[in-house]
Amino acid sequence: MPDTHAHWTVLPHEELVAVDDTIMTAVGYIPMPLARLPRRMTVVRLRDGGLVVYSAIALDDKGMATLERFGTPAFLVVPSDKHRMDARSWKQRYPRMTVVAPRGAGGKVADVVPVDATTPDFGDPDVRFLTVPGTGEREAALVVQRAGTTTLVLNDIIGNIRDARGLGGWFLGVMGFAGQEPRIPGIVKRLLVQDRAALREQLLLWAKDQSVVRILVSHGAIIDDHPRDALMKLAETLG
């Protein structure tokens, strides 16, 4: 399986569904030798009707029609250099999209698609781009605040695959992406996290924010059952 697609390539995926009035998400699957790796795309609608597409996935015609009814694709956020598979084909389909990547990943992302911004202004004070502290500026998140609630959109720093089975499930568990509760994958700690104290501080800041109601992660189920407690436990693993 190539790490990038030159053309619009639709892999198996679920339908695009609403998380709330301004957020939609779809889960796709990457075939691997031992398992299918779930990956999540999150789409946030801005006040002007533009869409921020985070960790893009090429959807089928029905899914793309649903997305275009939701809003106009305006920003393409590539949250790390590991999530650039469909970035080129999305930019080809929507050439007016602004491509965003964290500074530390921008070089590798630019090998696939030119990066327009590393500190974007979405024109909506309720939607904020954040380079996650402690990751060497290689991992990006979105913080979405609506009606007194906060949704965190995170990439690889938390894995929450709950339905992994068989040999493939065992493999994903060893990697740290699958388990009975949210985890910071061991491979992420080794290869991505450069400053555990800085990441721990950020997780604790989110955990103390009483407005946080859900966390959308790129690999695994949405965390909406006591998400602040989950953040606190994850921070403790970095102590």
Structural domain spans, the chain: 17-236
Q: Are 120 and 142 in contact (CB under 8 A)?
A: no
Region 109-122: mean pLDDT is 97
Q: What is the pLDDT of residue 1?
A: 40
Query: Hey, how many other C-beta atoms are within 10 angstroms of the C-beta on 70?
Result: 18
Higher pLDDT, 149 or 35: 149
Q: Would you state the pLDDT for residue 168?
A: 59
pLDDT at residue 164, rounded to an integer: 65
Q: Region 6-22: what's the mean pLDDT?
A: 96
pLDDT at 32 (0 to 100): 75
Name residue, tokens 């533009």: 50
Nearest by Cα to 48 from 124, 126, 144, 119: 124
- 83-111: average pLDDT: 97
Task: For domain 17-236, give the CATH number.
Answer: 3.60.15.10
* pLDDT per residue as tens digits for the range 166-219: 665 666 666 667 678 899 998 898 999 999 999 999 999 999 999 999 999 999
| Mean pLDDT, range 45-74, rounded to an integer | 98
Average pLDDT over residues 228-235: 97
Give the pLDDT confidence score for residue 169 in this predicted structure: 62
What is the predicted pLDDT for the residue at 179?
72
Has residue 117 got a pLDDT over 80?
A: yes
